């Protein structure tokens, strides 16, 4: 009995059939139901409207009803931002281990890889945007909530160093739940390491554009995400160091409803601009061009 009770069911949504004619005479429990395969439809996390997944993909995962920007996988972000066929990945074989032998961490890393299709929470490399070269690092929230462990910090640092050595502009797309606590101090050290690498890039006059996506919190927001020469964000993106609940409990005050959103931060001087996802590529291309970046990798 207990086995049947907890048996995992196939993931289908069911709706009453509307094409059976006189359904009023049929009892609710007797009405036939249609099965809709999982993944065919998507529900907006903000307004609740239902969209066909394929149509949502065409709209870059922006809800056509309310404009809510849903989260993108790192590979999808690269696909819609960089010129087709131009991306050359760095350090694809660099993956996390379990340096502190934290209970369950190794298993969770395997699970995250299977779930997200990524080997780490960031993908780095170089390519062109509108024909203009750049080094890019793209974080992905669907791998361990984009947490920054030692490998994430190392890959981003290497990308910064590549931009410095090749005198190319650097663009980092940030999204993160914070530092990866399974790696303790090794994770927290990445804040200083990435910041020091950016200081060297700045000394050489290199251009760094930081793109904030939802959400960007903790150690990532407290280090490289907020050190850009130009900082832009997608509409509605939440970013800051501590979470809303922690801040309210600390200061014992109610925060504004739009607190820590891109629009709130723009109003209070934390951002240079808020840019719709459909305009990100064109905006980056324009910024690269304005700063004298020449075509060719």
pLDDT given for residue 51 in this prediction: 87
The CA distance from 36 to 18, in Å, is: 14
Q: What is the mean pLDDT of residues 175-189?
A: 95
Report the run of H or E that residue 150 belongs to, with start and end: helix 150-166
Q: What is the pLDDT of residues 250-287, one digit of tens each?
A: 999 999 999 999 999 999 999 999 999 999 999 999 99
In the predicted model, is pLDDT for residue 242 greater than 80?
Answer: yes
pLDDT given for residue 6 in this prediction: 47
In the predicted model, is pLDDT for residue 34 greater than 80?
Answer: no
Of residues 244 and 14, the one with the higher pLDDT is 244
Contact 173, 211 (CB under 8 A): yes
Classify residue 144 as exposed, middle or buried by CB count within 10 Å of its CB (0-12, 13-18, 19+).
buried
* Mean of per-residue pLDDT scores for the chain: 89
Which of 229, 199, 210, 207 shows the shortest CA–CA distance to 294?
207
What three-state secondary structure class fits 23? coil
Of residues 110 and 30, the one with the higher pLDDT is 110
pLDDT given for residue 21 in this prediction: 45
pLDDT given for residue 162 in this prediction: 98
Contact 163, 170 (CB under 8 A): yes
The CA distance from 234 to 132, in Å, is: 22
Which of 136, 138, 133 shows the shortest CA–CA distance to 291?
133
pLDDT given for residue 287 in this prediction: 97
Report the run of H or E that residue 203 belongs to, with start and end: helix 184-203
Label residue 64 by pLDDT band (50, 70, 90).
very high
Q: Can you list the positions of beta strands (E) in the chain?
A: 12-16, 33-37, 41-43, 50-52, 88-90, 122-129, 132-139, 170-176, 208-216, 230-233, 273-274
Q: What is the mean pLDDT of residues 175-201?
A: 96
Of residues 244 and 209, the one with the higher pLDDT is 209
In the predicted model, is pLDDT for residue 30 greater than 60?
Answer: no
Label residue 19 by pLDDT band (50, 70, 90).
very low
Label residue 29 by pLDDT band (50, 70, 90).
low
In the predicted model, is pLDDT for residue 179 greater than 70?
Answer: yes
């Amino acid at each position: 009995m207990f086995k049947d009770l907890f048996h995992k069911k196939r993931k289908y949504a069911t709706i009453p059939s509307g094409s059976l004619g006189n359904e009023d005479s049929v009892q609710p429990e007797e009405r036939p139901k249609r099965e809709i395969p999982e993944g065919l439809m998507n529900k907006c996390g903000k307004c609740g409207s239902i969209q066909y997944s394929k149509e949502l993909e065409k709209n870059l995962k922006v809800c056509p009803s309310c404009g809510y920007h849903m989260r993108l996988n790192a590979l999808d972000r690269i696909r819609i931002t960089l010129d087709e066929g131009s991306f050359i990945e760095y350090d694809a074989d660099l993956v996390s281990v379990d340096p502190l032998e934290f209970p369950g961490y190794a298993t969770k890393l395997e699970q995250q890889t299977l779930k997200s299709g990524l080997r780490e929470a960031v993908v780095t490399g170089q390519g062109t945007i509108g024909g203009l070269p750049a080094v890019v690092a793209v974080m992905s929230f669907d791998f361990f909530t984009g947490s920054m462990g030692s490998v994430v910090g190392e890959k981003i640092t290497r990308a910064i160093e590549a931009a410095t050595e090749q005198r190319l502009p650097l663009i980092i797309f940030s999204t993160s739940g914070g530092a990866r606590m399974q790696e303790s101090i090794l994770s927290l050290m990445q804040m200083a390491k990435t910041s020091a690498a950016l200081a060297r890039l700045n000394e050489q006059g290199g251009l760094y554009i930081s793109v904030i996506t939802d959400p960007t919190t903790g150690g990532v927001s407290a280090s490289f995400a907020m050190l850009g020469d130009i900082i832009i964000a997608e509409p509605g993106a939440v970013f800051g160091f501590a979470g809303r609940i922690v801040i309210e409990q600390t200061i014992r005050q109610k925060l504004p409803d739009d607190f820590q959103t891109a629009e709130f931060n723009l109003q209070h001087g934390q951002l240079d601009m808020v840019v719709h996802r459909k305009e990100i590529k064109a905006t980056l291309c324009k910024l690269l061009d304005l700063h004298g970046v020449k075509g060719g990798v």
